[in-house]
Amino acid sequence: MHSIFKQWWWKIVGLIFLTIIIIGGLYLPLNPGIINTTPDTVAIGEQVELKIQTYNATFSKEDNHIQAYIKSKKHILQADTAFVIDANQVAAIFTIPYEIDSISLTNTSFDIIVLDEEHGTLTERNAIQVQNTNIEALDMKSVQSATAPTVLKAKKFGFPNREILQESIRNLFFHVPMWFGMVFLLFFSFISSILYLGKNENKFDIYAASAAEGGLLFGTLGIITGMCWATFTWGAPWPNDPKLNGAAIAMLIYIAYAILRKSISDPIRKAKVSAVYNIFAFFIYLAFVFIYPRLTDSLHPGNGGNPAFSNADLDNRLRMFFYPAVMGWSILGFWLVSLKIRYKFAHQKLIEIES
């Protein structure tokens, strides 16, 4: 184990991964998306021009293949015409009928869909609401639901532009790997503690203590990055979410471990007692991080049943950066811990020489 700490190849690999995700993850653009649509309420029978504000799009006035739809759960309606105002603004004219497929549109909310070959399909959910005003002015027109447009992907490479998340989706490469790093380091610490109790070798105690410190650092970074993300997407830095609470408790457990180590002066007793606490705590930590969020509803992706990322949340473009990010940050964590371990060994040698 100790010789691996001194080798350099895995550190280079980690640095390459981190360079890729820091440059690529922050520099590559997001796919185009819709920011907002005005007006957000329309009346039945009205012919309305919707102004659709987009983000990161490069529409040109010559482009006349642009299509716009509004879509509710039951029906879909194509725009009479759709045209480009400027690179990030599209207008679409809709005639709102009285009913589609003989179902009244009163108080229905519609998603708006804009698509062309170049930018793919852009959607904003619940963009407009139909209100039953102006009852005299309308011709009681009933139309058939249009066929749903095929979902197109953007031609240029870009990260998915999700509502609510928007640019903050890049935090996936920083926030989530922190938890992976924390779990790996704490698992390393747990194994070292078991080995210490089995073999009574001092080096395993140093491994366990250093890895727990590294895990605590990664947990703190995970909470900080998570709080930034939560403020942006959920509107509050600390919503009552089982994963957040679990993470906070996990931090308390390992801070208690650090305090326990500080409070014992005899080195052998310190090693033994803290190894016992570390093993005991790790099982409860596992329950907190992996079992507790599955049993309660969470705001996190895959809430309720499964806290892992599902295919819908993580598409291939994100995966290309997410897996290197997990590896890169975890390697950085082990690198930090290996430095700490080597420092502690050196410190110990120094004390031996002096005495």
Partner 1 sequence: MYGIASVILYVVAIIVVLYLSLASQGANKNIEVKYWNVLFWIMLLFAAINTIAKSFIQENSSKYLYYYSLVSPLAIILSKMIYNALLMLSIAIVSALLFALVLGSPVQNIGVYFIVILLGALSFSFLFTLVSSIASKAGNIGLTAILGLPLIVIILIYLMKLSREAFFAQTSENFFKTLGIIILFDFMLFMLSIILFPYLWRD
Nearer to partner 1, 71 or 261 (CB): 261
Q: How far is CA 149 from CA 31, 32, 123, 232, in A?
A: 19, 18, 12, 32
Task: Find out whether 90 and 131 touch, Cβ atoms under 8 Å.
Answer: no
Nearer to partner 1, 164 or 284 (CB): 284
Q: How far is the CB of 321 from partner 1 (least distance, A)?
A: 34
Nearer to partner 1, 285 or 334 (CB): 285
Q: How far is the CB of 247 from partner 1 (least distance, A)?
A: 12
The gap between the terminal CA atoms of the chain, to the nearest Å, is 28
Q: How far is the CB of 214 from partner 1 (least distance, A)?
A: 19
Q: Quick check: helix, strand or coil at residue 28?
A: coil
Q: How far is the CB of 44 from partner 1 (least distance, A)?
A: 44
Nearer to partner 1, 283 or 343 (CB): 283
Footprint of partner 1 on this chain (CB under 8 A)? 197, 249-250, 252-253, 256, 259-260, 263-264, 269, 272-273, 275-277, 279-281, 283-284, 287-288, 291-292, 295
Q: How far is the CB of 280 from partner 1 (least distance, A)?
A: 5
For 146, how many CA atoms within 13 A lie in the half-sphere containing its CB? 16
Q: How far is the CB of 288 from partner 1 (least distance, A)?
A: 6
**Residues 327, 330, 332, 338, Cα dihedral to 10°:** -130
Nearer to partner 1, 66 or 216 (CB): 216
Which tokens belong to 31? Answer: 């796919």
Rounded distance, CA 51 to CA 79, Å? Answer: 12
Nearer to partner 1, 90 or 223 (CB): 223
Rounded distance, CA 282 to CA 272, Å? Answer: 16
Residue indicated by tokens 């790093």: 181
Nearer to partner 1, 140 or 284 (CB): 284
Q: How far is the CB of 211 from partner 1 (least distance, A)?
A: 19
User: Is residue 10 exposed (0-12), middle (13-18) or buried (19+ Cβ within 10 Å)?
Assistant: middle
CB-based contacts of 316, cutoff 8 Å, min separation 6: none
- Other CB atoms within a 10 A radius of the CB of residue 163 amount to 14
Nearer to partner 1, 173 or 285 (CB): 285
Q: How far is the CB of 267 from partner 1 (least distance, A)?
A: 13
Q: How far is CA 99 from CA 93, 106, 107, 138, in A?
A: 18, 8, 12, 12
Which tokens belong to 129? Answer: 């609401």
Nearer to partner 1, 106 or 200 (CB): 200
Pairing of strands 142-143, 99-100: parallel
Q: How far is the CB of 293 from partner 1 (least distance, A)?
A: 11
